Amino acid sequence: MRRTSVAFLLVIAAACSSDPDVTVVEPVSTETTSTDGSEPVVTDGEPVDSVGEPSTTISDGDVPAVGGRDGVGDSFYPSMGNGGYFVDDYSLNLDVDVDGNELDATATISATASEELSTFHLDLHGLEVTSVGVDGQPATFDREADELIITPAEPIASESAFEVEVDYEGTPEPIADPGVPLDSVGWQNREGTVYVASEPSGAKSWFPSNNHPSDKATFTFVITADSDLTAVANGVREDLVDNGDGTTTTTWNMSDQMTTYLAAIYVGDFELRESTTDDGLRIRNYFPPAFADDLEDDFELTADVIDFYEELFGADYPFAEYGSIVLPFSTGFALENQTISVHGLDATDPYTIAHEIMHQWAGNSVTVAQWQDIWLLEGFATYLAYMYFEDRGLNSQIEPQGMYSALRSGFSIGPAEVPIDELFGLSVYFRGGMTLHALRVDVGDDAFQEIMAVYYERNAGERASTEEFQAIVEEIAGADALDVVNSWLFGLELPPFPE
């Protein structure tokens, strides 16, 4: 038996908001997960419980090569990702039986070897692999834990491009991830709806990949499902073909770089509500038909939030389209899947909507190269969502005083040095958010905005690290500003409220 005691620390917006009906679904915090050892628990690595340990730094552009093997050196997730190659494109052909929760799929992966490969790994959990080919030749393969180990007929030369085709099928099983206090991440099938919420490790529940944010790629999704259902994925919908046999094939293309944890498909009963912003950006939202009118009102602020971040970062919205999909049931969360954020029916409050839009810049365009740097995603989304409401003179469900009070009554640890089970905990969201507030109070609005714009410009479409953020703060605002930032990022002591 597996015994899990997971406590959700739901930060209730009522604590800092005038609207008692609004529940902010993040951050969440876990307690310990324990097992009695009689049944394996699927995890993606060993929980790291010591604090402040030096971690392997995977900095932008120089991911350490660990050739043809497992793992890219992530301090939290040692077996996540693989060495020896980088993926250029995933083309996923997915036959989805929602009622039977069956997937019958072919993944075509175009990659480039960074060294000679006689074997290489992909990350895949469960599912039955029926055949693997490399450059059109049958390849042999092995399964070991969540690794698919492939031996091509001929070794792949260093620096050469190659194509892997994996045929697989079965019922995808969600992953128990030590970083997420939810029961599982990845593929989910509930109430006639398939959806994906993978961050950090869940992509391996539904397609083979180099499952680490240090390797981004473009994606195509070709989804065949019952014609009564709507199939949605990241990017732009390119094609919709009625197969005349009760099924429809829908093609979605994500032509910008994307990490595996943000790849998502949704298949269910959804109604499309679309609009175009003044700048010509298409917003396509998918709502459960019974709630579509109300939800259309709730998500009305989308265009204005996008405007705000375009101004703050001095850069256009990073992708071709945006939209939100709302599930027909409560989940207690929302997640920023690239160009198509997913919201539980109970997570459509304005703050959460702004938070997920914000992540399209910090999180999706600028990703972290190692999970220890998560505050660069969640601290940014927490604070910059507040700044939208502040700027527009609107009440914000999360604001600095409220965050500070919550931090004072909780256990405080620097957001840049949290242990894995606090990856999405209070410190990362609120002390990470307060780090930006303290910086802004210290340097003033203009320098703060310049720091945001430079940080974004240097990392758009790529990856950033805490070290890089520190260097930009020092470059633009000097050593004292960096000291302020560091006092919030590290250490057990909570700094005084910035004034």
* Contacts with Zn ion, residue ranges (CB under 5 A): 378, 381
Reduced to 3 states, what is the DSSP secondary structure of residue 484?
helix
Residue labelled with tokens 């800092």: 16
Cβ atoms of residues 107 and 114 within 8 Å:
no
Closer residue to ligand TRP (CB): 334 or 406: 334
- DSSP codes, 273-340: EEEE-TT--EEEEEE-GGGHHHHHHHGGGHHHHHHHHHHHHTS--SSSEE-EEE-SS--S-EE--TTS
Closer residue to Zn ion (CB): 44 or 378: 378
* In the complex, minimum distance from the CB of residue 188 to ligand TRP, in angstroms, rounded to a whole number: 9
* In the complex, minimum distance from the CB of residue 355 to Zn ion, in angstroms, rounded to a whole number: 5
In the chain, what is the straight-line distance between the N-terminal and C-terminal CA atoms, in Å? 51
* In the complex, minimum distance from the CB of residue 333 to ligand TRP, in angstroms, rounded to a whole number: 4
Closer residue to ligand TRP (CB): 11 or 225: 11
Cβ atoms of residues 400 and 437 within 8 Å:
yes
- Exposure string for 110-137, b = 16+ CB within 10 A, e = fewer: ebebbbebebbbbbbbbbebeebbbeee
* Residue 373 binds: one of ligand TRP, Zn ion, none (C-beta under 5 to 8 A by kind): none
* In the complex, minimum distance from the CB of residue 355 to ligand TRP, in angstroms, rounded to a whole number: 6
Closer residue to ligand TRP (CB): 413 or 428: 428
- Exposure string for 276-309, b = 16+ CB within 10 A, e = fewer: ebeeebebbbbbbeeebeebeebbebbbebbbbb
* In the complex, minimum distance from the CB of residue 381 to Zn ion, in angstroms, rounded to a whole number: 4
* In the complex, minimum distance from the CB of residue 184 to ligand TRP, in angstroms, rounded to a whole number: 9
Peptide bond connecting 200 to the previous residue in cis, omega within 30 degrees of 0: yes
* Residue 125 binds: one of Zn ion, ligand TRP, none (C-beta under 5 to 8 A by kind): none
Cβ atoms of residues 252 and 120 within 8 Å:
no
Closer residue to Zn ion (CB): 299 or 383: 383
* In the complex, minimum distance from the CB of residue 334 to ligand TRP, in angstroms, rounded to a whole number: 6
* Residue 301 binds: one of ligand TRP, Zn ion, none (C-beta under 5 to 8 A by kind): none
Closer residue to Zn ion (CB): 378 or 421: 378
Angle formed by the axes of helices 375-391 and 432-443, to 10°?
60
* Residue 334 binds: one of Zn ion, ligand TRP, none (C-beta under 5 to 8 A by kind): ligand TRP
* In the complex, minimum distance from the CB of residue 359 to ligand TRP, in angstroms, rounded to a whole number: 6
The residue type found at 384 is L
* In the complex, minimum distance from the CB of residue 452 to ligand TRP, in angstroms, rounded to a whole number: 19
| Bridge partners, residue 362, by sequence | 366
Give dist(CA 407, CA 401) in Å, integer. Answer: 10
Closer residue to Zn ion (CB): 281 or 381: 381
By C-alpha distance, which of 115, 122, 26, 124 is closest to 70?
A: 122
* Residue 182 binds: one of ligand TRP, Zn ion, none (C-beta under 5 to 8 A by kind): ligand TRP
Cβ atoms of residues 30 and 425 within 8 Å:
yes
Closer residue to ligand TRP (CB): 250 or 382: 382
Residues that bind ligand TRP (CB under 6 A): 26, 180, 182, 185, 197, 199, 333-336, 355-356, 359, 378, 424
* Residue 180 binds: one of ligand TRP, Zn ion, none (C-beta under 5 to 8 A by kind): ligand TRP
* Residue 199 binds: one of Zn ion, ligand TRP, none (C-beta under 5 to 8 A by kind): ligand TRP
* Residue 384 binds: one of Zn ion, ligand TRP, none (C-beta under 5 to 8 A by kind): none
* In the complex, minimum distance from the CB of residue 13 to ligand TRP, in angstroms, rounded to a whole number: 14
* In the complex, minimum distance from the CB of residue 469 to Zn ion, in angstroms, rounded to a whole number: 17
Closer residue to ligand TRP (CB): 93 or 188: 188
- The torsion angles phi and psi of 404, rounded to 5 degrees, stand at -65, -40
72, 257, 365, 383 from 460: Cα distances, Å: 22, 10, 5, 19
Closer residue to Zn ion (CB): 381 or 494: 381
| Bridge partners, residue 285, by sequence | 273
Q: Please name the residues in contact with 397: beta carbons below 8 A apart, sequence gap of 6 or more.
A: 13, 16, 17, 19, 22, 24, 349, 350, 351
- 282: its two tokens: 């298409």
- The torsion angles phi and psi of 325, rounded to 5 degrees, stand at -120, 135
Closer residue to ligand TRP (CB): 87 or 185: 185
* Residue 335 binds: one of ligand TRP, Zn ion, none (C-beta under 5 to 8 A by kind): ligand TRP
